[in-house]
Amino acid sequence: MTTETSRTTFRLQGEDLSRALVFSGFWGSIFYLLAFISQVLTFRRPPAEVRSSTVLAGAGIFIGGFVGLGTLLIAVASALTGKTPAQQAREQLGAAGEERSGVLGTAVGAGVGSLLPLALATGSMRLAARLTGVPALAPPAGVSLPRAAVANGLLTALIAAAVTRITGWVARDARAGGQG
């Protein structure tokens, strides 16, 4: 994938392409898993009947789309900034761990932002149900999207807070190791 700007040409290839694919594939998997778990946890009349073929087909649809769109967005960001994904990551990690208030803000933002992946994952499961002929969770009326949205937001916020703290610790330890 090549993107041109007026100042530079940037090609997303080699390690940069690998990073984009792994990063978007990993987070796509996490977001789909959180969406699925949120729906199961908030099912109106437990137990929910889970159809693995439909759940896996939905995962394929969601993660495939997430990887494609994620890689495209990474390429666009790299073209606009003129920096490789590795350079951007180093800059972001350089500031990580400096401020404690960033954890709460990141958690809240991730919780609110989790609504889009939840909607896309739900749509992927519905598309998969059309393809397989059976719903991912049965009976379909047992799925409570408002309750799932709250659960998904809370789970995503907790994971975002943990990842932010861990990233901060790793960055701080790397800086301290580089000084000694």
The position carrying tokens 């499961």 is 125
pTM of the predicted protein model: 0.85
The closest of 85, 82, 76, 80 to 18, measured between CA atoms, is 85
Query: Rounded to an integer, what is the distance from CA 38 to the centroid of its chain?
Result: 15
Q: What is the pLDDT of residue 5?
A: 44
Asked whether the bond before 47 is cis by omega within 30 degrees of 0, the reply is yes
| Per-residue tens of pLDDT for the chain, all 180 residues | 554 444 455 566 788 888 889 999 999 999 999 999 999 999 988 788 999 999 999 999 999 999 999 999 988 988 899 888 888 877 776 666 565 558 899 999 999 999 999 999 999 999 999 999 999 999 989 999 999 999 999 999 999 999 989 988 888 888 788 665
| Rounded-to-integer distance, Cα 84 and Cα 104, Å | 28
| Rounded-to-integer distance, Cα 179 and Cα 65, Å | 42
